[in-house]
Amino acid sequence: MKHIFLNLKRFDIPKDKGGVNSIAPIQEWGKYIVSNTQEQLKAYAGEDVEFVMYFPEAHLISAANALEENSMVQVGCQSVYREDTAVGGNFGAFTTNRTANAVKAMGCTSTIIGHCEERKDKAGILSEAGVTDTAAVNRLLNKEIKAAIKAGLSVLYCIGESSEEQPRWQEVLKEQLSTGLDGVDTSKVTIAYEPIWAIGPGKIPPDQEYITMIGSFIKEVTGGLDVVYGGGLKVDNAKMLASIPVMDGGLIALTRFQGEIGYYPDEYLEIIRTYFS
């Protein structure tokens, strides 16, 4: 199966507040994105492919309510809390936390866990607490993955190495996989590889040979789990990524990187057309 994931981060914030949103009023943002893509994605109904969009929590209900019958779009959330409600147990004492049962009830079918921005946040909190165990983040993510799957969500699990970690990338990625997926039903998991060392202005992205090497390594370690490129699926690299046999799709974020930067549904659809052309 091919997978095209979309991580909408906090692209809902208007430009006058420092964000990149100029496509719709924030109250209608989630509905707008689903409504302006799902009809066109029906062209891929005969393909073995899934399209998942990860929204900020505030937009999950409007996005899910915009789904038409037999829509190709799946609505997902951006990670979940490591604990959850249970019949006869905790009935909702999770102030500030987004549980998997909550987002499942809103209409989500998937979640993205371990994105480099989430990893950075957790590592920062642990550092403030004096925790130096580098595997602690992976243990927390493992609990999130298990909570998500228990609630009936599929998981896009992100892994990747920083520039400081790149000389020992095999060790780093293997630790993220072995600890993060320990005891997990991996039939519900897809892996996204994020080359953190190459993300950002002025950075040189990995080439086809490097991505092939990483994808092969991940499949070997995980026993053949599907792997997508999380360094950013774009029009510029879509054909190249589609040509790599060991890669099973990609993760889109921004669609425009110059001028009026941001996410635009028509450009999202153009990336998909290029990938499958």
- What whole-number distance in Å separates Cα of residue 19 and Cα of residue 273? 27
- What whole-number distance in Å separates Cα of residue 139 and Cα of residue 189? 16
- Asked whether 253 and 263 are in contact (CB, 8 A), the reply is yes
- Asked whether 214 and 206 are in contact (CB, 8 A), the reply is yes
Q: Look at residue 252 and give its three-state secondary structure.
A: strand
Please choose, from the candidates 133, 111, 116, the residue with its C-alpha nearest in 3D space to the C-alpha of residue 179: 133
Complete DSSP assignment for 225-248: --EEE-S---HHHHHHHHT-TT--
Please choose, from the candidates 80, 29, 82, the residue with its C-alpha nearest in 3D space to the C-alpha of residue 58: 29
Determine whether 115 is an active site residue.
yes
Determine whether 194 is an active site residue.
yes
Catalytic residue among 3, 115, 118, 161: 115
Active site residues: 115, 194
